[in-house]
Structure 1
Amino acid sequence: MADITRHQSNEKLSRVVVHGGTVYLSGLTADDKSTDTQSQTRQILAKADLLLASVGSDRSKLLLTQIYLRDTAEFDTMNRAWIDWLDGAAPPARITVGADFALPEIRVEILFTAAI
């Protein structure tokens, strides 16, 4: 059985989990939650780049993303940041759904699964 490695863990979650050649990132939110949906999305994607790189992966190896939006009317706004970030990389399987967050200032949360 393949080992499970957990990174950036606390009592409630591990930010990064690696198992069997796959990396799982916890749902990521923006650090500056006072910004709009596009800015929050860009912050999350930059954070994902760093976390993926920390375990030898990158956006070109994405398998699945799950995107949660506070306001689905901002779908196109979020997608502009998403498409810019992909920058020609093959897009992963993806779902985008509306969500009610515990913190009202969160506009976007994204969960990532990638190969290593």
Structure 2
Amino acid sequence: MSRIIRTDANPVLSKALEYHGFVYTQGVVASDPSQDITAQTKDVLAQIDSLLEIHGTDNTRLLQAHIWLKNMADREAMNKVWTAWLPEGAAPVRACVQAVLADPGYLVEIMITACR
């Protein structure tokens, strides 16, 4: 049976999970929801970098991204941070939708699937 590696699991979720060389992150939100969309996106991506590093991979190995925005009007600002973070030619498949997030202060939530 293949081993499932869970990172920082609690009764509700794991921050990341690795199975068969694939790494799945939780939906990552900003540590400080009082910040603007640019700062929140930078924080979320830094957290994703840390989770991927724990599992021996990085943003050059992204396969899929799900992005939820509180307000689609923030898409352009979020995309500026997103594209600066992505290595050239390494964009994953992606969905980006507007949604009601768990806390009204959260402006963006990102979930990643990557491989090792």
Name the TM tier (shorter chain): over 0.9
Structure having the larger proportion of residues in strand: 1
How many residue pairs end up in the alignment? 116
Equivalent residue, structure 2, for 1:19: 19
Deviates more, 1:85-94 or 1:25-34: 85-94
Contact 1:59 1:89 (C-alpha < 8 Å) held by counterparts: no
| Per-residue deviation, residues 45-76 of structure 1 (Å, max 9, x unmatched) | 01111110011010000000000000001110
Q: Secondary structure at the match of 1:9?
A: coil
1:4-83 mapped onto 2 (5 Å cutoff): 4-83=4-83
Counterparts of 1:93 and 1:70, CA distance in 2: 21
Percent identical among aligned pairs is 39
Q: 1:96 maps to which residue?
A: 96
Structure 1 runs of 4+ aligned residues shifted over 6 Å read none
Equivalent pair of 1:25/1:111 in contact (CA under 8 Å) = yes
TM-score by length of 1: 0.96
Q: Give the alignment's Cα RMSD to 1 decimal.
A: 0.9
Normalising by structure 2, we get a TM-score of 0.96
Instruction: Assess if the C-alpha contact under 8 Å between 1:65 and 1:94 holds in 2.
Output: yes
Structure 1 residue ranges without an equivalent (≥5): none
Q: Which 5+ residue runs of structure 2 have no aligned equivalent?
A: none
Looking at structure 2, the residues matched to 29 and 10 of structure 1 have their Cα atoms a distance apart, in angstroms, of: 17
- CA shift, 1:3, in A, is 1.4
Letter in 2 for 1:104: P
Write the distance in 1 (CA, Å) between the matches of 2:112 and 2:31.
Answer: 17
